[in-house]
Structure 1
Amino acid sequence: MADYLPIVLLAVAGFLVGGVYATWKTARGCAILLAVAAVMAIVGGIGWMVYG
């Protein structure tokens, strides 16, 4: 499972970025929270690949 976790995190980040794009005009607060979660997932996925 540890080998696939970075890929899963990057896939989740992709879904979150899509959510940011979809909600930006209607719910900015929610979009900002989704963007923060997407950045955390990207950093976690890349960090896991580099240091894990």
Structure 2
Amino acid sequence: MNDPNASVFCAGRGDRAPVFIADAVIDHQIKKVNLENYIGKWVLLFFYPSDFTFV
């Protein structure tokens, strides 16, 4: 995960999301989601990890 060649993306209003693959919970199962599968469609990206961690 600590790739020294990775660039940092800081999203701003109206920016397009970079293409990525990530784990997501879909129908109570963890599945891989590829943003390329949603090109041309409306997508809501929801990131709120603090609420789902057991601290």
Q: Same fold (TM over 0.5)?
A: no
Structure with the higher strand share, 1 or 2: 2
Structure-2-length-normalised TM-score? 0.26
Structure-1-length-normalised TM-score? 0.27
Structure with the higher helix share, 1 or 2: 1
Relative CO higher for 1 or 2, CA cutoff 8 Å, sep ≥ 6?
A: 1
